[in-house]
Every structure is written in structure tokens, then in C-alpha cells.
Chains A and B, each alone.
Chain A
Amino acid sequence: MSLFLRDYLTVVWFGLAAVLLAGLLLGVSAAIRPSRPSYDKQIAYESGVDPVGMGWSQSQIRYYVFALLFVIFDVEAVFIFPWAANIERYGVFGLVVMLAFIVLLLDGLVYAWKRGLLRWV
């Protein structure tokens, strides 16, 4: 493994250590806490009222379109970052191309907006 990737490996070790820490906290707690499950304790909490129906009941999800739009804008950001970090290298050509790219994507946002997808109801 090259030294270029060395820092990522440190991050991986650190992540494993964090997993271990969380596991340790849970493990210590599991060893010393009481456990007396009963039916009443295991009902879903609905402000003291007995729950009606399933927890995974159907409900209307507002704004699900945002998940799609988010993918577009996140991909856009991924393309923008490398260009932004090296803007001098690509010069005017880069600026024009990126402008076209961003305008096309913004066009998508405006279309969604115009269709009324960005509103409640």
C-alpha cells in the first residue's frame, strides 16, 4: 500500500477503535443492568395509549422527490469539487463547460419547482 493511502488506513483503524468503544460501552452496560422483560414494557410507545395497528403502517411520505433531486445535486457537487480545486488549470474552457453543466442541472430544479414538486401537498 502506498503512502498516499496510508492516512486512510489510519482512519480505518480509528473507525475500528470507535466501534470497539461503542461495543465496550454496550457490553459493560449489558453486564450490570437488570433485564426483566414483560409484555407491557415491549409495547411501542404512543404517549401511553395502546398502539393501534402496526408500527410500519402506511403513511404518505412528503417530499420523496427530494431524494431523487438530492442524488442529482450530490453528483453535481462531486463533479464541481475537483474542478473548483484546480480552477486555474482549466481556464476559460473549464468555466464555460461548468457553466453549461450547472445551468442544465439547475434547469432540472426549476422544472421540479415549476411542476410544484417542492411544495407541501
Chain B
Amino acid sequence: MNVVALLAADPLLDGELRWTPLLIVVLKVLVIFVLGLVGTMFMVWFERKVVAGMQNRIGPNKAGPFGILQTLADGTKLFFKEIMNPARSDPWVFRLAPFLAFVPAFLVWSVIPLGGDFTEGRDGTVTWFGQVTRVQLADPPVGILLVLAMSSIAVYGIMLAGWASGSKYPLLGSVRASAQMISYEAALGLSLAAVLLSAGTLSTAGIVAGQNSLSNWNLVATGFVPFFVFLVAVTAELNRPPFDLVEAEQELVGGFHTEYSGIPFALFYLAEFMNTITMSAIVVTLFLGGPQPITIGETTLSIGFIPGALEGTLWFVLKLLAFLYAFVWFRATLPRLRYDQLMDLGWKFMIPISLGWFLLLAAIRTGDANQWNPVVVVVSSLVLLGLGYLLFVAALRVSARNREREGAMF
């Protein structure tokens, strides 16, 4: 479909031109662009500063107050840097890969609820220029699948970047990256299913709207386990420490972006930090009520002097900052996993546990709907899961014995 056909298909441009909704969309796009870029710059500075603090260093402190303009200075420098294209690289794919990393990172922003008016039980819509709208760019009916799709496409960016470099370290880094990212994407999807169970919708706005009090937050409603699985899977998906084997410096130099320099490198770097922010935002949206204020029973912790719509944004940013800090904290605290440990954690622990937990939740929900005795439901489900686990252990023991008899070393 060419651009003209797309333009003609847009109902906003169909028939008489309605300027207000169009302007609102343009405004939202601009705000998200500015927020995305400024937020990423802030995140780079924040990470350096916090890690420095945790390691008894000072961190960036020259450019601007508290060194906050350091990222801007670094970025500006990269504009003037010569780009070296390795002679053995694949010229087209080598240039395409930064786009494949950068664009999906940006696209995730479009479905994240960034704020809204949730005071006194409102549903989060706001009125701008006489137009009822949400504080998020788009609310497609399956918004959360869009996030999963984008994180899948990001694998292509890294895989192709490493392959197209025509160099050994990037190739190894990208193979590792793709194995790691697809492994944890399975765990990511399965823990997400538990959220969908309690939310009953795939739209991000709908998921936020359902979490209108602390006990309805999916963190509590799904029983904490999916949250922790999701958090670990997201950390691995982002290739952040302790799962940063993709660019393990001691082994692989820079990993997949070893051969990149100048602005193409900056695009990878931006995408990496932007993914950190957007994925934290997704965790907040899915499990911690997004822009919902904290409501316990009948009391709402409300920030009185801030108008309703802005308050949602403030809550969202506060929750987001907590996760960004946690990610930096992981980096400063946890040692990197060995590659086989990483794979074992993903396939032998997180996927079975998230599937088992999901089935347990599903049984409880179905039991609720049919008025079965909840104790009986939980006990019989646990017995069933336990039996499955025992069968499984027995099977592994048999296989270990057979392997020993065949003289295998492990």
C-alpha cells in the first residue's frame, strides 16, 4: 500500500477534515518523541550516576548541574565521528540493522498509558480541546501483543547487526542474543497470560482500568509469581545485567555492536536505554496499575494540589522511577550468569513455573465462576501439579541413569 492509499484510508482524513483529533494525534506524537529522547538521555545519566554512587565514585559531574547534560555532550560528539564500515560487512544489512533496533523501541511507547484522570473512580479519559481522549498515543484492542511483537522484531535488529558485521565477536554476540531473547520471550508471554486472566482484555488501557485498587493490582491479583517471572524475563529480554552475555566485555568486546561507530552505534545505544524505560513502563502498566493512584480499600492516596489528569502521570513516573532504579541496582549488585545457567533458568525454571502457576490461577477462576469450593479447587490443583512434577522428576532420573550407563560425562 502506498502512502496516498494509506492517507485515504485514514478515517480522520475521510470526508470533511476534522482538525481537532488530528491535532491531538500530532501533539501526542511530538510529546512522545520529546519524552522518549529526553527520557533516554536522563536514563543514561541516571544509570551512570547511580552506579557511580553504588561504587563509591562520583560519576558524571562536569556538563551541566550534576552532570545531567553529559549524555547530550556524548551524543553531540558522536555526530562528528567518522563511521568505519568493515570491508567484509554486508553493506545493506549493516545499514538496516540500526533502524530495526531503533524503530521498535520507539513503537512500544505508542501503547503505554502515560497518564489520565483516575480520581474519584473516573476511567482515565481526559478532555482536550473538547475531545475525549486517553493519555496514550493509540489504544489498539490487542495493544499488549504489539509490545510482544516489537520485542520480537528487536531480536532481528541485534541478530542482523551481528551477522552483517562480518566479524567474529559480533557474530557470536548476536547468536547468543537471539537464543537468549527468544528463550525469555517464551517465559515473558506465559507470565503475561496470567495477567490477561485477571484483566480479561488485551488492551493496555483496559488492563490499567481494571486495577483500580491495591488489591486489584495484578501484582496482588495474580499472586506475585507472574510478576517476578516477568521482571526476570524482561531483564533478560533487555540484555541488561545480570543477563548481559550479549555484550560480555571480557569475552566478546562489545558484542553485536562491536563494528558500529558514530551515529549508527548511538541508535543502538539509544534503543537499548529506551527499551529499558519502555519495558519498565510495561511492567508498571501490567502489574502496578500504571497511572492509577494507590487505593487501599476506600482511601485513595491523592496528591491534592495537582489537577486530576496530571496526577496520573505523576504516579506513573514515580512507579517507573522505582523500576529504573531497580534495573540499575541489578547491574551494580548481581554478577553475570554463565551462559548455560542463563538457559537453564529460562527453560527449566521459569517456563514450567509460569505455566504451572497460570493453570492454577485458571482453575481457581473457573472454580469461582462455577461456585466450587475454593479449598477443594486449590488443593486438587496443587496435587495435580505435584503429581506432574513427580512424574517429571522420575523421567529425568531414568534418563540420567540411562546416560550414565551409556558412559556420558554429564
Residues of A within 8 A of B (CB): 1-4, 6-15, 17-19, 21-23, 25-26, 28-29, 32-37, 39, 41-47, 51, 54-57, 59, 61-64, 66-67, 69-70, 73-74, 76-77, 80-81, 84-88, 91-92, 94-95, 98-99, 102-103, 106, 109-110, 113-116, 118-121
Query: Assuming A33-B82, A41-B84, A66-B343, is B98 touching A55 (CB within 8 A)?
Result: no
From B253, B339, B370, A45 is in contact (CB under 8 Å) with B253
A79 to chain B, nearest CB (A): 10
Say whether A55 contacts B186, CB under 8 Å.
no
Say whether B88 contacts A66, CB under 8 Å.
no
B22 to chain A, nearest CB (A): 11
Query: Assuming A33-B79, A81-B193, is B179 touching A67 (CB within 8 A)?
Result: yes
Query: Does B395 sit at the interface, judged by CB under 8 A?
Result: yes
Residues of B within 8 A of A (CB): 6, 9-12, 25, 29, 32-33, 78-89, 98-99, 102-103, 106-107, 109-111, 137-141, 145-146, 163, 165-169, 171-172, 175, 178-179, 182-183, 185-186, 189-190, 192-194, 196-197, 199-202, 253, 258-259, 262-264, 266-267, 339-340, 343-344, 347-348, 351-352, 355, 358-359, 362-363, 365-366, 369-370, 388, 392, 395-396, 398-399, 403, 408, 410
Q: Which residue of A lies closest to B343 (CB)?
A: A63
Say whether A116 contacts B403, CB under 8 Å.
yes
Q: Which residue of A lies closest to B206 (CB)?
A: A85
Residues of A within 8 A of B137 (CB): 10-11, 14
Query: Assuming A41-B84, A81-B145, is B189 touching A118 (CB within 8 A)?
Result: no
Query: Assuming A45-B253, A45-B258, A120-B339, is B168 touching A10 (CB within 8 A)?
Result: no
Residues of A within 8 A of B138 (CB): 7-8, 10-11, 14
Say whether A95 contacts B366, CB under 8 Å.
yes
A7 CA to B234 CA, complexed, in Å: 26
From B88, B103, B189, B363, A74 is in contact (CB under 8 Å) with B189
- The interface residues of chain A, by DSSP majority, are classed as helix
Residues of A within 8 A of B145 (CB): 81
A and B contact pairs by CB, cutoff 8 A, 19 listed: A1-B10, A7-B138, A10-B138, A18-B102, A33-B83, A44-B259, A51-B167, A55-B171, A70-B183, A77-B186, A84-B193, A87-B369, A88-B369, A95-B366, A102-B355, A114-B395, A114-B399, A118-B347, A118-B348
Residues of B within 8 A of A25 (CB): 263, 266-267
Residues of B within 8 A of A85 (CB): 196-197, 199-202
Say whether A98 contacts B87, CB under 8 Å.
no
Residues of A within 8 A of B141 (CB): 4, 7
Residues of B within 8 A of A61 (CB): 175
A105 CA to B408 CA, complexed, in Å: 27
Say whether A28 contacts B253, CB under 8 Å.
no
A114 CA to B179 CA, complexed, in Å: 20
A29 CA to B168 CA, complexed, in Å: 27
Say whether B106 contacts A18, CB under 8 Å.
yes
Residues of B within 8 A of A23 (CB): 99
Residues of A within 8 A of B253 (CB): 45, 47
B338 to chain A, nearest CB (A): 9
B17 to chain A, nearest CB (A): 16
A55 to chain B, nearest CB (A): 4
Query: Assuming A6-B11, A66-B183, A84-B197, is B79 touching A32 (CB within 8 A)?
Result: yes
B289 to chain A, nearest CB (A): 18
Say whether B167 contacts A45, CB under 8 Å.
yes
